[in-house]
A and B are shown apart, each in its own frame.
Chain A
Amino acid sequence: MATLAVRRAPLGGFSFENCKRNSILESEASKVGFSVPTARKTGTTICGVVFKDGIVLGADTRATEGMVVADKNCSKIHYISPNIYCCGAGTAADTEMTTQIISSNLELHALSTGRQPRVATANRMLKQMLFRYQGYIGAALVLGGVDCNGPHLYSIYPHGSTDKLPYVTMGSGSLAAMAVFEDRYKTGMEEEEAKQLVRDAIAAGIFNDLGSGSNIDLCVITKGNVDYIRPHDEANKKGVRTGDYRYKRGTTAVLSKVVNPLDLELLEETVQTMDTS
């Protein structure tokens, strides 16, 4: 009888029911010396640059979970619309979900207006959503694309502020990448020059920041064409083993040999490919 209750109409969205319990658990756990699991961050270097005909976006491919590499080859350049792509740094789940939600909203908006979506629209949707959650959604984004008004590049911070600039970097390796940009950026670069500049900036982040590593992904967006190059450059190849500890056949002398063939018949053969994307 005590459990009879009339429920108020439930709302969708975030539920804060467990927040108090979680904070109590965290304080209890730290007393015992055990730490709560951390969210997977992308601890990244992402950057973007405007060149003569469009945008080049670049990202590294390492995802970290505290001090451990969680994913050696994750894809940080997310699709927003056919002419707009977005790199994400910060909490991996947050960037993933935010970009997917904005991508869906932009698609609905484009269907409703009947026009190709603009980068400024995506920017405004992102900043309004991030500001609504007051920075608790840890997504730092580099948004770039080419629309009817030309190429545009924005950087969006987790609390909702945005900057419209010709070259931007975000993530833990942003200072290293920005140093390269500040040195070598020129207005009106050619595509190859811009790709080389972005590659060098990301490489600076990869080699000088612990949170970034593995390969360099590039995305070149021009009017009517997108080149998603993954990977553009494998800066960190896993080493090849030069020696082998296995003993060669014949190291131990064979005294006698008996062969017993087993009578088996092949019933079914299936091939299941591993998802190496």
Chain B
Amino acid sequence: IVPVAGLCPQGSYGIQDSLRSGFTSVKNELLPSHPLELSEKNFVLNQDKMNFSTLRNIQGLHAPLKLQMEYRAARQIQRLPFLQSSNLALDTLRGSDDTIGFEDILSDPAQSETMGEPHMMVEYKLGLL
């Protein structure tokens, strides 16, 4: 069981944000609860990185640059902060609109039992909090 850095508190200045993520526990932050936790959290990111670097090697720097610009644009098309967006443009760009994985079947965010408090989430998004 190796302590990992990826689970550090996510608030500003690296301090635990009690308002947003609850109370602290040193063990929770240092040790992953499952060996797959980190790799799953970063899976999409790592896959994108791998694809971009392959593209860069094959087609030159322009290919990943243009694609990343399109990703950035597509990522901004969202609903209100507390509502789940379908991310259709992002999925089409990534090519995951015609694949099914465990992320579509298990704990579908569109059907989660809890919802973020609307006022708090909008204020957080606008930076008022």
Query: Cβ of A13 and Cβ of B100 under 8 Å apart?
Result: no
A132 within 8 A of B: yes
A109-B120 Cα distance, complex, nearest whole Å: 42
Which B94-128 residues have a C-beta within 8 angstroms of A? 98-109, 112, 114-117, 120-121, 124
B48 within 8 A of A: no
B58 within 8 A of A: no
A35 within 8 A of B: no
A134-B43 Cα distance, complex, nearest whole Å: 13
Q: How many residues of A contact B (CB 8 A)?
A: 30
A12 within 8 A of B: yes
A123-B19 Cα distance, complex, nearest whole Å: 47
Query: Cβ of A101 and Cβ of B101 under 8 Å apart?
Result: yes
Show the binding face of B for A, using Cβ within 8 Å: 10, 19-22, 28, 32-37, 39-41, 43, 82, 98-109, 112, 114-117, 120-121, 124, 129
Show the binding face of A for B, using Cβ within 8 Å: 4-17, 19-20, 23, 97, 101, 104-105, 108-109, 111-112, 129, 132-134, 136
Contacts beyond the supplied A6-B116, A97-B105: 9 A-B pairs with Cβ under 8 Å: A5-B21, A5-B117, A6-B19, A8-B21, A13-B101, A14-B107, A16-B34, A108-B98, A134-B39
Closest 4 CB pairs of A and B: A13-B103, A12-B103, A19-B33, A7-B116
